[in-house]
């Protein structure tokens, strides 16, 4: 499903953030990604979601080599990936409902169907009263819930979630983890980046640990 071999990445020439990363996310698997702040978790997710290019190595996604793929072919693959960004990535000029609807709109779903799904999901994340409100008026945790709703609304083939519970209290964090588990049971391959060792310890999923640009531990 998603395979990285000897992958390196740098923002500044000669200063690699990822040096030699090898990861295989099998179809239907559920992994955690952890490691100290600044280790490169978000950078790794940006490679996996095709926002950045690797400087070395090979990335294969849905059986296609994306390292050599022309830019114009990427949106089609990207649409199969649900992404929860660490800083939410909500568009400030759109309402919460419009933000959550965006992936379905891009996929060309009929408006009525989109409206129904958005309403149902906003109810699930307890943001129904923020339907027509812009993101600036929401708290951090509320924005995070909207970002999660947007990432899962398409039932993506892969869900990449960057600190998805970083702004949620313990009870809500668990609730969202159970949502990710339910998606996973429905076939979605899941990767959750988190520093929350306690949360990670509550689930029996393999842990990828990033340190000094490599994955140092592939299990507990
Ligand atoms: N856009 C950027 N330009 C230059 N350097 C960057 C950029 N984004 C991240 N970095 C650097 O890359 C390194 C890894 O950052 P990254 O955000 O991937 O870490 P992280 O593991 O997600 O950290 P955190 O747990 O704090 O979210 C850091 O040293 C950071 O300064
Ligand atoms: Mg990060």
Do residues 141 and 168 touch, judged by C-beta distance below 8 A?
A: yes
Total H helices, total E strands in the chain: 7, 10
What's the distance, Cα to Cα, between the start and end of the chain in Å? 23
pLDDT > 80? residue 219? no
pLDDT in tens, 93-118: 999 999 999 999 999 999 999 999 99
Q: How many whole angstroms from 114 Cα to the centroid of ligand 1?
A: 35
pLDDT in tens, 23-81: 999 999 999 999 999 999 999 999 999 999 999 999 999 999 999 899 899 999 999 99
Pocket test for ligand 1, best of 7, 11, 166 (most atoms within 8 A of CB): 11
- To 5 degrees, how large is the angle CA 58–CA 63–CA 67? 30
pLDDT in tens, 199-212: 999 999 999 999 98
Residue % of the chain over a pLDDT of 90: 92
pLDDT > 80? residue 220? no
Pocket test for ligand 1, best of 7, 14, 32, 40 (most atoms within 8 A of CB): 40
Region 162-185 average pLDDT: 93
Q: What pTM does this model have? A: 0.94
């Amino acid at each position: 499903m998603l395979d990285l071999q000897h992958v390196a990445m740098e923002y500044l020439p000669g200063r690699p953030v990822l040096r030699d990363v090898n990861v295989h996310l099998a179809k239907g698997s559920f992994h955690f990604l952890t490691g100290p702040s600044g280790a490169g978790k978000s950078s790794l997710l940006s490679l996996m979601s095709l926002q950045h290019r690797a400087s070395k190595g090979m990335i294969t996604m849905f059986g296609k080599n994306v390292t050599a793929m022309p830019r114009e072919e990427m949106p089609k693959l990207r649409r199969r990936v649900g992404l929860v960004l660490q800083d939410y990535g909500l568009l400030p000029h759109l309402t919460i409902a419009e933000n959550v609807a965006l992936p379905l709109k891009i996929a060309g779903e009929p408006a009525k169907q989109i409206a129904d799904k958005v309403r149902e999901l906003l109810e699930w994340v307890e943001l129904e009263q923020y339907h027509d409100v812009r993101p600036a008026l929401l708290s951090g945790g509320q924005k995070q819930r909207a970002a999660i709703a947007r990432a899962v609304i398409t039932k993506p083939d892969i869900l990449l979630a960057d600190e998805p519970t970083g702004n949620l209290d313990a009870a809500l964090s668990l609730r969202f983890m159970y949502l990710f588990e339910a998606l996973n049971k429905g076939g979605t391959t899941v990767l959750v980046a988190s520093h929350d060792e306690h949360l990670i310890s509550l689930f029996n999923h393999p842990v990828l640990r990033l340190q000094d640009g490599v994955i140092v531990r592939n299990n507990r």
